[in-house]
Amino acid sequence: MAYMDGITCICDNGRTLEDHRPIVGDDVVSGIYRKAAALRGKRILHVNSTYQSGGVAEMILSLVPLMNDVGIRTQWNILTGEGGDFFTITKNFHNALQGQAISFSDDEKGLYLKTNECFSGQMEIDHDLVVIHDPQPLPLIRFYEKTQPWVWRCHVDLSNPDPALWEFLKNFVLDYDRMVISHEQYRRRGMPMEQWICRPAIDPLSEKNRDLTDAEIAGLLEKYNVPTDKPLVTQISRFDKWKDPEGVVDVFSRVREHVDCRLVLCGSMAPDDPEGWAIYRSVEEKAREFIEAGDVILITAEDHLLVNALQRASCVILQKSLREGFGLTVTEGLWKGRPVIASRVGGDTAPDRGRRDRVPPRPDRYRRVCLEDPAGSGEPGARGGAARPGRQGARPAELPDHPPPLRLPGHAERGARRSEHLTAKKRHTTPPIHLRAGP
């Protein structure tokens, strides 16, 4: 399990790229070794704002050990926002980037910058590449002599951001050399840098996704008091308005008119998401009668094995999101061969990819297909069902999509650039980046 050493998250899980060979095959593994050879010994820094709860942490957690295993010295630092206000502001940024109309005062913007400035005092950067995730640490770039490429990886839906907020954040993004987004539709027009699309992926060997025995599943469900006498419908998601947990309760109550089943909403509380408990309480209020009858179960524990067991034990996995950066939970459900019903947002929703067949969560559909015949529900796709379960929908780890083809400067070169910077007394300049030739 990961733990913090100061501002650095230590997440050596002992897994290697070779462990993935039986799953992804020789070609993928060779391709990764080839790409990694060009970066061998380089130092890469990832910075985000939490090491648990949510897709960003989930991905970096598996990516860092794999990158180190192939010889790229990769470190992961966590921006610790001091006090609750910083994360309240950045959660509102997140909401406004996903389309909610919110205005921000100069004080809020000032606190956002100040927190980043203070954090920069705790973190030295002498790496060959810096990857900043999401808006929380975005302005860090302003507080360093920039002697290496910086990449901004945005995991939220950027298709319709609040214009005023985007104008504010764009000022920082413009200092970056690349943007990385999760979906074609999240491209921002008018940005000078390349915008890459990198589809997030899951780690098939993690506690979240590894195979579990029936006894392990039963033990985990018992530990968290989840009875299995009725078919389970599950949504695994932070308590977040974009995940629409109240909408899930509405759908469930309609299904319950026809089928006796049980809903589990499992969402741990992320330290950088201060809205979680308020949304939890509204869901609790809305589902009160079901909760008292034991037919809606709310769980806030952070336990990857529990998530794994719930996904495997469910007759239907729901992801009724209104907006999604990507939606790893859909991939996780498909990997486990479970029927998944997800809104057509985020993710890899292009119909020609044949990877994910997301549909609006229609209660009649999951009732008919999955719940009235739970014994056969592992194969709903074959029965005109709700999603295409199976491992074709899941891609293990995201390393193949993550070869930064930036020519990273060597130490001597970075030293020279640093002195150029100092001589010119000019901050925030962008060193040229060069595409690496070859595959």
For ligand UDP, the closer CB: 295 or 332: 332
Minimal distance, residue 94 CB to ligand UDP, in Å: 9
Minimal distance, residue 310 CB to ligand UDP, in Å: 9
Q: Under a CB-based contact definition with an 8 Å cutoff, are residues 261 and 254 in contact?
A: no
Question: Is position 396 an interface residue for ligand UDP (rule: CB under 6 A)?
Answer: no
* The only residue of 268, 314, 349, 377 in contact with ligand UDP, by rule CB under 6 A: 268
* The only residue of 54, 149, 161, 396 in contact with ligand UDP, by rule CB under 6 A: 54
Minimal distance, residue 5 CB to ligand UDP, in Å: 22
For ligand UDP, the closer CB: 55 or 409: 55
Q: Under a CB-based contact definition with an 8 Å cutoff, are residues 387 and 334 in contact?
A: yes
Q: Under a CB-based contact definition with an 8 Å cutoff, are residues 157 and 143 in contact?
A: no
Question: Is position 385 an interface residue for ligand UDP (rule: CB under 6 A)?
Answer: no
Q: Distance between CA atoms of 66 and 409, rounded to whole angstroms? A: 22
Question: Is position 63 an interface residue for ligand UDP (rule: CB under 6 A)?
Answer: no
For ligand UDP, the closer CB: 242 or 366: 242
Dihedral class, residue 60 (left if φ above 0, else alpha if ψ from -120 to 50, else beta): alpha
Q: Residue 181's CB: how many other CB atoms inside 10 A?
A: 23
| Three-state DSSP state, 245 | helix
Question: Is position 66 an interface residue for ligand UDP (rule: CB under 6 A)?
Answer: no
DSSP string covering 147-189: -S-EEEE--S--SS--HHHHHHHHHHHTTSSEEEESSGGGPPT
Write out the two tokens for 96: 């406004």
| Three-state DSSP state, 96 | helix
Residue nearest to ligand UDP (CB): 55
Taking CB under 6 A as the rule, which mask of x and - marks residues 276-315 in contact with ligand UDP? Answer: ----------------------------x--x--------
Question: Is position 55 an interface residue for ligand UDP (rule: CB under 6 A)?
Answer: yes
Minimal distance, residue 157 CB to ligand UDP, in Å: 10
Question: Is position 387 an interface residue for ligand UDP (rule: CB under 6 A)?
Answer: no
Q: Under a CB-based contact definition with an 8 Å cutoff, are residues 427 and 235 in contact?
A: no
Q: Under a CB-based contact definition with an 8 Å cutoff, are residues 218 and 212 in contact?
A: no
Q: Which of residues 123-182 bind ligand UDP (CB under 6 A)?
A: none
For ligand UDP, the closer CB: 87 or 143: 87
Taking CB under 6 A as the rule, which mask of x and - marks residues 315-334 in contact with ligand UDP? Answer: ----------xxxxx--x--
CA of 352: how far to CAs of 1, 9, 24, 348, 356, in Å? 38, 38, 22, 10, 10
Interaction site with ligand UDP (CB under 6 A) = 54-56, 58, 208, 236-238, 266-268, 304, 307, 325-329, 332
